[in-house]
Amino acid sequence: MRARPDARAARGPERADRGVRVAHPRRGGVGVITEVPGVRVGHWTDPVGLTGCTVVLPPPGTVGSGEVRGGAPGTRETDLLRPGMLVREVHAVLLTGGSAFGLAAADGVMRFLEERGIGFDAGVARVPIVPAAVVFDLALGDPGARPGPREGYAACLAASAGPVEEGSVGAGTGATVAKLRGPRRQRKGGVGSAAERRGAVVVGALVVVNALGEVLDEEGKVLAGARPGPHLEQGPPWPGAGQAGDGPRSEGAVDLRPGANTTLAVVATNSNLTKEEAHALAAAGHRGIAAAIRPSHTIWDGDAVFSLATGGAEAGRHELSEMAERAVATAVRRAVRAARGVAGAPGLGEAP
């Protein structure tokens, strides 16, 4: 068993400097969210405490919305994303580890934006609009290592319009999947990104996969499922898991801690959208989650999708929805394919 790092060291003042990773490309695959013009992504990673955060910075004037469907979410500023609310523009989206503690990292993102004069004009001040959502990663690494304001600020400093690093980085550093048979059978989750392009229209997605369910491949077969155990080595742990036949199931071993499982996504496009249309784009992103993760949107998951429309191109609503669904599903699969295993959560192809 891997010894947990000292919590005091993980929380020390050197943590933000130690954890910053500048994005670099993952080999293979096609398309990332930064193909949407003006969109930047930055990670802050703590490889010792196994936590981190990821920020998406869109260009000025970006219309934002979102939708939360999981039963155990940890979020910030999501009410204002609903259609009919006053604020249209979103200035950043933060995805973070650390469970609810990690929401403090959004303060650092706000400070970064405020220093640059970016935010909603409230007359006496510009207030950055930074929706955020969390994943629960406290059980895999050091539960005292959590992203805070300094770490959110550091992720912004690392933001780039270049290739997006995927796998066990940023908010996906401590992510795991396939916990239906209990945490002893889980595999490593992570961050993934993908993009779809049709002519001048681009739809990109970035996801953090920390799901209760298993990840399915393009043919609907299990890609990242529960690891074999001493007793229940055959068959899916739930009906219709993408493989034929009825296998034994593990009753009572499911990781049902509230909020312990979540898939988060950001869907961005360069299309001209109203806030209502951006909300529909977020709903399409949820369909992408459902296509790649079974089960998804459970009462134990905090699944949430944010949408960003930067403007400049025209596309039909059906076309955009189809592109968003595919981009999210592809990003989910890329996340687990790129993830590097740690003690207690091996990656794909790694020894249990």
Among 179, 146, 196, which Cα is nearest to 263's? 179
Q: Which domain holds residue 89?
A: 30-226+237-245+252-338
User: Is position 68 within any domain?
Assistant: yes
What does pTM read for this prediction? 0.86
User: Is position 66 within any domain?
Assistant: yes
Rounded mean pLDDT of 299-321? 94
pLDDT on residue 72: 86
Q: In the structure, what pLDDT confidence band is assigned to residue 234 with cuts at 50, 70 and 90?
A: very low
Mark out the alpha helices in 228-316 (DSSP H runs): 275-292
Gap between the Cα atoms of 130 and 153, Å rounded: 12
User: Is position 15 within any domain?
Assistant: no
Reply yes or no on whether the pLDDT at 244 is more than 60.
Answer: no
Cβ atoms < 10 Å from Cβ of 73 = 17
Gap between the Cα atoms of 204 and 39, Å rounded: 10
Please report, rounded to a whole number, the percentage of residues in the chain having pLDDT higher than 90.
Answer: 74
Higher per-residue pLDDT: 310 or 298: 310
Mean confidence (pLDDT) of the chain: 86
Reply yes or no on whether the pLDDT at 59 is more than 80.
Answer: yes
pLDDT tens readout for residues 79-134: 999 999 999 999 999 999 999 999 999 999 999 999 999 999 999 999 999 999 99
User: Is position 266 within any domain?
Assistant: yes
Of the listed ranges 17-31, 99-113, 254-268, 332-346, the one predicted with least confidence: 17-31
- Provide the total of helices (H) and of strands (E) in the chain, helices listed first: 6, 18
Q: In the structure, what pLDDT confidence band is assigned to residue 350 with cuts at 50, 70 and 90?
A: confident
The secondary structure element, H or E, covering residue 294 is strand 293-294
Q: Are 247 and 259 in contact (CB under 8 A)?
A: no
How far out from the chain centre does Cα 86 lie?
26
pLDDT on residue 181: 84
Number of domains into which the chain is organized: 1
User: Is position 19 within any domain?
Assistant: no
Return the residue matching tokens 């992203």.
147
pLDDT on residue 194: 98
For 35, 265, 306, the CA distances from 202, given in Å and listed in that order, are 7, 16, 16
pLDDT on residue 184: 84
Name 57's bridge partners. 40
Tokens at residue 332, please? 């989910």
User: Is position 351 within any domain?
Assistant: no
Of the listed ranges 8-12, 40-44, 176-180, 324-328, the one predicted with least confidence: 8-12
Tokens at residue 284, please? 């399409």
User: Is position 169 within any domain?
Assistant: yes
CATH code for position 49: 3.60.70.12
pLDDT tens readout for residues 250-305: 444 455 555 578 999 999 999 999 999 999 999 999 999 999 999 999 888 889 99
What secondary structure letter does DSSP report for 49? T
Gap between the Cα atoms of 72 and 77, Å rounded: 16
pLDDT on residue 257: 58
Peptide bond into 60 cis (omega under 30): no
User: Is position 1 within any domain?
Assistant: no
Rounded mean pLDDT of 9-23? 38
pLDDT on residue 254: 52
**The most confident of 23-37, 173-187, 253-267, by mean pLDDT:** 173-187
Among 263, 270, 276, which Cα is nearest to 324's? 270
